[in-house]
């Protein structure tokens, strides 16, 4: 900050001239004048330091947030303590002091905090955890005090009886103390935050409610998480299929869609997407339509946008014809195995390089899954190994393109062992002898590899022919692939 710089430089210059025997009184007066000017300038906001907290526009309604019905309901119930203070006071209930929003990035935690301010008709002031920490000891603590002071003064100025202070990335200043890695500035900042949340001023008029967000709740200091500080912890998780559909409807409300666009199908294909990724998906689809000078956004634009969000923009890589053929064989192996494990799961096959991937098979789960059986895990391992197996069946060797597939298969095998689903029975994988664990993983991988070879062997000729077509056309829809698959060897495929 400017004031700290003036004080530090002023002291150094004063000491230097005093050492030389010069009269330092005029210099002291000048430094004092500069310091006073800097205080006035910063208070009036003429100079922006990049760290000052600003009130944010928070006209966000809970209806504008999709895919978080459970989290919204829980948050609104907690905020009712703020809206109906007279009622809760009659029952002797103390006001809430803090609400912690946890969950992956892009799930809408900041939007939820803004909607909370609208719901309670409160002043909304926000800051990021990284803004409180600097090399100067005490600066972060001072900023915490200023933040709460600003929230109260704004509430009084606007005639409101409550204010919401939103702190994003609170794990930056709220990390666990001790452990041999203490930092005085971090600790002082956290201590000041704890003091502000405990202080009498937080329960007086105007009431200040702290809403914080983090995706690393395990790193927070226990003092922050105890009752009386953050009284509520609300999980803002990735949306399910219905949630994704709701978000897509909100994000496409202002976009012209073609008649063939089925948002429910897109919601199904975008499994695992966060709200931010879904917003990016609809935006990228609109950009693709603009590039083609289309008046409406079509289904293929959305499908290309899904690939772009997952893998990135198409790269300028130009693989040789031999490499393209190998990639197409590899991806067809994945696709055949995926259809054998979960019929109807292949949504799109492409060999257009995107990001670090030379090809990609986008799979769609039949439904959002949270638990997996041994058979399901083994099926995923078949899909992972099928690319390399297909290469070996057609070319007689394998390539380095399967390295990530092998890593995925190995992790799945490790999961089978750690969950007690292997021949070892129930074991503690962390304390298991390394040679025993490695041998069991190798055995699982070897058995699944043999099953994958048996699965793909009947399709050798078909893979040779279709890979040539895929090289020419660059991509194939899931429906077209399933039509080809039904013309191959349905009996063997059904048996597999």
Residue tagged active-site, from 331, 391, 440, 449: 331
Residue 14 to residue 10: CA distance in whole angstroms: 6
Residue 105 to residue 214: CA distance in whole angstroms: 8
- Cβ density class 181-191: b for 16+ within 10 Å, e for less: eeeebbbbbbe
Residue 17 to residue 454: CA distance in whole angstroms: 88
- Cβ density class 339-377: b for 16+ within 10 Å, e for less: bbbbeebbbbbbbbbbeebbbbbbbbeeeeeeebeeeeb
- Specify whether 331 is catalytic: yes
DSSP collapsed to 3 states, 319-343: CCHHHHHHHHHHHHHHHHHHHHHCC
Residues sharing a CB contact under 8 Å with residue 114, sequence separation 6 or more, in sequence order: 56, 58, 59, 60, 124, 166
Closest CA to 379 of 349, 338, 423, 347: 338
Q: Give the CB-side neighbour count of residue 337, counting CA atoms within 13 A.
A: 31
Within 10 angstroms of residue 94's Cβ, the number of other Cβ atoms is 11
Q: Give the CB-side neighbour count of residue 409, counting CA atoms within 13 A.
A: 27
Give, as one character, the DSSP assignment of residue 315: P
If phi over 0 gives left and psi between -120 and 50 gives alpha, with beta otherwise, what is residue 494?
alpha
φ and ψ of 170, to 5 deg: -65, -15
Tallying the residues shown for the chain, one arrives at: 496
Residue 222 to residue 212: CA distance in whole angstroms: 15
CA end-to-end span of the chain: 68
Residue 278 to residue 275: CA distance in whole angstroms: 5
CB 236 within 8 A of CB 103: yes
Residue 296 to residue 257: CA distance in whole angstroms: 5
Residues taking part in catalysis: 331
């Amino acid at each position: 900050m400017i004031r700290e710089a003036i004080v530090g430089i002023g002291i150094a210059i004063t000491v230097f001239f005093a050492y030389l025997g010069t009269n330092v009184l005029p210099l002291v007066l000048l430094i004092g004048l500069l310091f006073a000017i800097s205080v006035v300038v910063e208070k009036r906001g003429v100079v922006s330091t990049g760290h000052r907290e600003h009130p944010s526009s928070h006209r966000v309604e809970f209806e504008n947030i999709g895919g978080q019905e459970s989290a919204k309901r829980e948050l609104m119930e907690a905020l009712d303590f703020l809206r109906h203070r007279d009622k809760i006071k009659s029952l002797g209930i103390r006001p809430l002091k803090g609400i912690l929003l946890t969950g992956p990035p892009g799930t809408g935690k900041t939007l939820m905090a803004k909607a909370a301010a609208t719901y309670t008709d409160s002043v909304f002031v926000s800051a990021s955890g990284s803004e409180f920490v600097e090399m100067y000891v005490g600066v972060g603590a001072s900023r915490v005090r200023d933040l709460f002071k600003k929230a109260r003064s704004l509430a009084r100025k606007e005639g409101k009886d409550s204010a919401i202070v939103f702190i994003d990335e609170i794990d930056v200043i709220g990390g666990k103390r001790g452990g041999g890695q203490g930092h005085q500035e971090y600790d002082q900042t956290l201590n000041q935050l704890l003091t502000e949340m405990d202080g009498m001023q937080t329960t007086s008029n105007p009431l200040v409610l702290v809403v914080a967000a983090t995706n690393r709740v395990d790193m927070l200091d226990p003092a922050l998480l105890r009752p009386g500080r953050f009284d509520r912890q609300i999980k803002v998780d990735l949306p399910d299929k219905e949630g994704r559909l709701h978000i897509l409807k909100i994000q496409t409300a202002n976009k012209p869609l073609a008649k063939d666009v089925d948002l429910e199908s897109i919601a199904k294909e975008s499994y695992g997407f966060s709200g931010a990724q879904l917003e990016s998906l609809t935006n990228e689809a609109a950009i693709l339509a603009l590039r083609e000078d289309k008046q409406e956004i079509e289904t293929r634009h959305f499908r290309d946008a899904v690939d772009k969000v997952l893998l990135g923009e198409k790269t300028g890589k130009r693989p040789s014809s031999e490499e393209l053929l190998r990639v197409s064989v590899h991806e067809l192996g994945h696709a055949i195995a995926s259809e054998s494990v979960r019929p109807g799961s292949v949504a799109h096959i492409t060999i257009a390089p995107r990001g670090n991937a030379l090809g990609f098979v986008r799979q769609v789960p039949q439904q959002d899954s949270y638990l997996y059986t041994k058979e399901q895990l083994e099926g995923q391992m078949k899909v992972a190994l099928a690319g390399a197996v297909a290469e070996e069946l057609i070319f007689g060797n394998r390539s380095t393109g399967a390295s990530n597939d092998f890593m995925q298969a190995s992790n799945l095998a490790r999961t089978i062992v750690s969950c007690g689903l292997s021949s070892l029975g129930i074991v503690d994988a962390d304390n298991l002898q390394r040679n025993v664990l490695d041998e069991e993983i190798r055995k699982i991988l070897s058995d699944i590899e043999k099953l994958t070879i048996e699965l793909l062997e009947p399709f050798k000729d078909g893979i040779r022919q279709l890979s040539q077509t895929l090289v020419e056309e660059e991509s194939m829809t899931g429906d077209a692939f399933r039509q080809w698959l039904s013309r191959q060897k349905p009996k063997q495929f059904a048996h597999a």
